[in-house]
Amino acid sequence: MFTKNYPSQLLEEAVEQFASLPGIGRKSALRLALHILKQPVENVERFSRAFTELRRGVKYCKQCNMITDGDYCPICRDGKRDSSVICVVESIRDVLSIENTGHYNGLYHVLGGIISPIDGVGPSDLPIEQLIGRVKEGVVGEIILALSTSMEGETTSFYLYKKLSGLNVRITAIARGVGFGDDLEYADELTLGKSIENRQLFKY
């Protein structure tokens, strides 16, 4: 009887909203909605407020397009970072992932997407002119391309390479290869091939 019709429209709506999130099915959504029911009203209000405030209040860094609460993000504002290197990534998530490694001290440029004719995303839809502008300021010595190796990612990397190659800046790309701790036998041929091709002097 209730597979689709819950005994309460309010519950129905809450389940539907939770189920609209990626990776959350209707069963999990029901569990989450019933969890909400058991929380104090203040907690639920704080919960709900967080998302509208995030969506309404969020700003993007005027220099690199990273998410921030002010005009410039903490990375661009950080005087200790190496402003001569810019790592070009597709998304905010990518910045957070690279930051978590603790192995990078330069700046970023978040494209917010990649060139994808199928999705109607062309070069002019991405902040590529903004990146060129940053390079033209003359401080930048290296651009690291850290886009995906999908067809669209490669297209975007190539487009950026063409656009930037006249600008007296070193253009590099992150290394691709067999991951740490991964068995060679399970690596795909392309990855393993790249690993051999891009071999480095053994350091110990």
Does 3 bind a second copy (CB under 8 A)? Our answer is: yes
Residue 73 in tokens? 């993000």
Does 26 bind a second copy (CB under 8 A)? Our answer is: no
Residue 113 DSSP class: S
Cα gap 109→95, rounded to integer Å: 9
Cβ proximity to a second copy, 36 vs 192, nearer residue:
36
Does 196 bind a second copy (CB under 8 A)? Our answer is: no
Does 103 bind a second copy (CB under 8 A)? Our answer is: no
Does 28 bind a second copy (CB under 8 A)? Our answer is: yes
Work out how close the CB of 37 gets to a second copy at its nearest, in angstroms, rounded to a whole number: 6
Give the residue, chosen from 25, 74, 179, 193, that forms a contact with a second copy under the rule CB under 8 A: 74
Does 16 bind a second copy (CB under 8 A)? Our answer is: yes
Does 63 bind a second copy (CB under 8 A)? Our answer is: no
Cα gap 50→66, rounded to integer Å: 19
Work out how close the CB of 80 gets to a second copy at its nearest, in angstroms, rounded to a whole number: 11
Does 53 bind a second copy (CB under 8 A)? Our answer is: yes
CA of residue 192 relative to chain centroid, distance:
25
Residue 97 in tokens? 């992932």
Angle, nearest 10°, between helix axes 26-38 and 9-19?
Answer: 120
Cβ proximity to a second copy, 45 vs 182, nearer residue:
45
Cα gap 163→7, rounded to integer Å: 59
Residue type present at position 167 = L
Does 92 bind a second copy (CB under 8 A)? Our answer is: yes
Work out how close the CB of 140 gets to a second copy at its nearest, in angstroms, rounded to a whole number: 21
Whether the CB-CB separation of 94 and 112 falls below 8 Å is answered with no
Whether the CB-CB separation of 99 and 73 falls below 8 Å is answered with no
Cα gap 111→66, rounded to integer Å: 9
Work out how close the CB of 190 gets to a second copy at its nearest, in angstroms, rounded to a whole number: 27
In the complex, the residues that contact a second copy under the rule CB under 8 A are: 1-3, 6-11, 13-14, 16-17, 20-23, 28, 30-37, 39, 41, 43-59, 66-69, 73-75, 91-93, 95-96, 99-100, 102
